[in-house]
Structure 1
Amino acid sequence: MDTQTTTHAAPGTPLPPIISVDDHTVEPADVWQHRLPKKYLDTGPRVVRAPLKEMTFLGGRFKPVMGEPGDDGPIGDWWVYEDLHRPLTRLDTAVGYSRDEIKLEVITYEQMRPGSYDVPSRLADMDVNHVQSALCFPTFPRFCGQTFTEAADRELGLLCVRAYNDWMVEEWCGPQAQGRLIPLPLIPLWDPELAAAEVRRNAARGVRAVAFSEIPPHLGLPSIHTDDWDPFLQACAETRTIIAMHIGSSSRMPSTSADAPPAVGSTITFANCCYSMVDWLMSGKFERFPDLKVMYAEGQIGWIPYILERADVVWEENRAWGGVADKVHRPPSELFTEHVYGCFFDDAFGLKNLDSIGVGNVLYETDYPHSDSTWPKSREVGEAQMGHLPPDVVERIVRGNAIELLGLTPEGLWEGPK
């Protein structure tokens, strides 16, 4: 196995057990087939084994084409849902492979690391990586449920969202997880009232986080600047449910051109988080919903100080024509401190500028099992990058902030339904 990450400094402060706020689950093949009404089993999500005809990932767009039985081409497992064909790929579960082996290729469940989809195996891989607890984003539904939002049948889509959430709470984060896996449900993005109801349904089960899109208009949905999302935001504020936004949760990764290679997008993935955060800071929502909190998964943190500086300047100097003076009454940097969390797994620059971000606004992650993951060396990476920080600061970043934000026990575990 390849360690995937090289550290460059001797550890200073020993890292406490990690609470990762951005890992991923690959859903078992039977999640929806076991939970949907019979009439939907032929159109709802299911897995088939088929050859790959072609697959590209250019300009931030992932385009796979499934072949027919008997066609030439590598064989993989595909999620099929309505007209969608989405393969499992090596990028979905890359840990344990050397960098030269991690390619854009289709795979089967048998070729996947079991910790990607199996709870006991996940806990074992967490033990190897000094991780106590983990919040996991989805794979087939995509990072905030875009798969169901883009589907034609809304009734089926709602059933799929609820089925995923039931599996997430009752099985993935169920008794065998021992409180170490933290639930992250989805919402029906196409209907804010239904979304609010789903937030409340899951909050009643002890859930304190929900996935959302970083830039909803990219999905054909209203922007944060409208009042359309208010029922959903009100539900989150009332239940103290944090809104978790992952890079790519608007189905469009940052890029510069239609033919730009993936390396371009991978370098600037933080851009969507940047755009989204400015949207929220200038929307007035944090003043209307003072208990609302948002976090940005896999966006890193080094870019935050300049954006806060710039936002404060714009808010002050452009107040006569900037369009926000009537709804944003405090400097955006102050709103950030009270409402926004940045998440990182490998950001030495950001940690050197921690005073300009705020110790209380930073969360740690490992991104298991993706290609960017620091597994199985997350402890070593963290100690190398945080060695200059006092132990109490390291404790807050690695686990303390997450415990408070996600309503975990003092020991860092999810209690489940109260």
Structure 2
Amino acid sequence: MSAPQPLDYMAIDVDNHYYEPLDALTRHLPKEFRSRGVQMLTDGKRTYAVFGGVINHFIPNPTFDPIIEPGCLDLLFRGEIPEGVDPASLMKVDRLADHPEYQNRDARVKILDRQNLETVFMLPTFACGVEEGLKHDIPATMASVHAFNLWLDEDWGFDRPDHRIIAAPIISLADPQQAVEEVEFVLGRGAKLVCVRPAPVPGEVRPRSLGDPVHDPVWARLAEAGVPVVFHLSDSGYMAIPALWGGSGVFKGFGKRDPLDMVIMDDRAIHDTIASMIVHQVFTRHPKLKVVSIENGSYFVYRLIKRLRKSANNAPYHYKEDPVEQLRNNVWIAPYYEDDVKLLADTIGVDKILFGSDWPHGEGLADPTSFTADIPQFPEFSYEDTRMVMRDNALTLLGVDVTAGAGR
């Protein structure tokens, strides 16, 4: 890692987060679903999230008070903790009341000015665990997602005229017809991107692939609108895999975990998600569909390419197009800051790499644009290459013509 590179332009951060208030999923939830959807129950001083009558541990403290300081776990995620230092000692917390920017749009815009960020993609924190928690009740899932999207547009805005914050509504595919209706609803409200969980789609009988043709109306509408699909790290139900090896099977966003969990699970969900989209021919049927992987790292890309090549070699009759080229053409990647950005550029092209800081999460960057310290410098990366990663590629993803000098 070198020193951060100063920017003579404002960057676009594709991985920013809010911390949801306690009523984010209940403010607009119909009465008939209140006992089936998300409930917040307080027992003394502690508040619990209850999904469909069951306490959920995805976010152990859904009040987010106290809340972890942005970037305080940097050394942990870089694997650079000094010898003898307890990893738990890196954890630092603040009072939520001292940081209105975590839950208030106007306060957040002021922070963006200080961070030299023109635009951010605003993504969920707590809501990334809701679909898994409600997957056994599809009507409650769809009602809860719609209620969440109403809250999101109300508090943050899918895309307001200043274009500073682009909030991504959630689309659940669990009910295919209602998924189409939700897509139409959010597009009608001005959504510029949507968030889909990187996971098998829950079904009444059995799970479905994201590439099942029953979901084609959703992909077709998003492709037609030029609205990208964000696959962000979520509770994808993959804790069932380490559970086969004696693990608890419960996804916990914070706290100590069996190290075997991550060794076994790691980035399998995003690997399988992109594989399902390619192998089950989503991009063949919808060649204009744009997909972006955020907060899943980039090392899954190399394993996926190897397996796609082998699959195409073993079953050439299945593939109408080169699956590796579809990955390079239709998929954008926001790597972790500690990833090898040069290797990723050599593999998929620098034009498919996005900058994301994960701010204000503790495992992200305290200063978002310090991401440039992890981008190779000239001659490996030119000024233009770095600008593509830090800004222009995000504009291209959104359909803005950067070659014409257009801006947000």
Band of TM-score, shorter chain: 0.7 to 0.9
The one-letter code of the counterpart of 1:370 is H
- 2-side partners of 1:112 and 1:85: how far apart? 28
The one-letter code of the counterpart of 2:61 is L
State the shift of 1:392 in Å.
1.3
User: Tell me, what secondary structure is at the counterpart of 2:55?
Assistant: strand
State the shift of 1:32 in Å.
4.2
State the shift of 1:227 in Å.
2.2
- Could you say if the C-alpha distance between residues 31 and 306 of structure 1 is closer, same or farther in structure 2, counting changes exceeding 3 Å? closer
User: Tell me, what secondary structure is at the counterpart of 2:213?
Assistant: coil
Provide the residue aligned with 1:293 in structure 2: 290
- Could you say if the C-alpha distance between residues 140 and 243 of structure 1 is closer, same or farther in structure 2, counting changes exceeding 3 Å? same
User: Tell me, what secondary structure is at the counterpart of 1:341?
Assistant: strand
Residues 1:26 and 2:10 are matched in the alignment: no
Residues 1:356 and 2:347 are matched in the alignment: yes
The one-letter code of the counterpart of 1:380 is S
Residues 1:17 and 2:10 are matched in the alignment: yes
- 1-side partners of 2:195 and 2:134: how far apart? 13
State the shift of 1:237 in Å.
2.1
| Equivalent pair of 2:29/2:144 in contact (CA under 8 Å) | yes
Gaps of 5+ in 2: 74-87, 249-256
Provide the residue aligned with 2:42 in structure 1: 49
State the shift of 1:151 in Å.
5.5
- Could you say if the C-alpha distance between residues 162 and 360 of structure 1 is closer, same or farther in structure 2, counting changes exceeding 3 Å? same
Alignment of 1:272-287 (within 5 A): 272-287=269-284
Provide the residue aligned with 1:79 in structure 2: 49
The one-letter code of the counterpart of 1:94 is I
User: Tell me, what secondary structure is at the counterpart of 1:248?
Assistant: coil
The one-letter code of the counterpart of 1:405 is L
User: Tell me, what secondary structure is at the counterpart of 2:163?
Assistant: coil
Which of 317, 329, 344 is the equivalent residue of 2:320?
Answer: 329
Provide the residue aligned with 2:155 in structure 1: 171
Residues 1:380 and 2:344 are matched in the alignment: no
- Could you say if the C-alpha distance between residues 262 and 139 of structure 1 is closer, same or farther in structure 2, counting changes exceeding 3 Å? farther
Report how many aligned residue pairs link the two structures. 372
| Equivalent pair of 1:192/1:229 in contact (CA under 8 Å) | yes
Task: With the length of structure 1 as denominator, give the TM-score of the two structures.
Answer: 0.76
State the shift of 1:148 in Å.
6.9
User: Tell me, what secondary structure is at the counterpart of 1:141?
Assistant: helix
Provide the residue aligned with 1:396 in structure 2: 388
Residues 1:214 and 2:214 are matched in the alignment: no
Provide the residue aligned with 1:258 in structure 2: 246
State the shift of 1:382 in Å.
1.8
Which of 326, 330, 335 is the equivalent residue of 1:339?
Answer: 330
State the shift of 1:250 in Å.
1.5
- 1-side partners of 2:186 and 2:338: how far apart? 33
| Equivalent pair of 1:270/1:299 in contact (CA under 8 Å) | yes
Which of 137, 146, 151 is the equivalent residue of 2:131?
Answer: 146
User: Tell me, what secondary structure is at the counterpart of 1:241?
Assistant: coil
The one-letter code of the counterpart of 2:137 is A
Residues 1:95 and 2:75 are matched in the alignment: no
Task: With the length of structure 2 as denominator, give the TM-score of the two structures.
Answer: 0.77
| Equivalent pair of 1:149/1:189 in contact (CA under 8 Å) | no
- Could you say if the C-alpha distance between residues 337 and 224 of structure 1 is closer, same or farther in structure 2, counting changes exceeding 3 Å? same
- 2-side partners of 1:149 and 1:408: how far apart? 37
Provide the residue aligned with 2:77 in structure 1: none
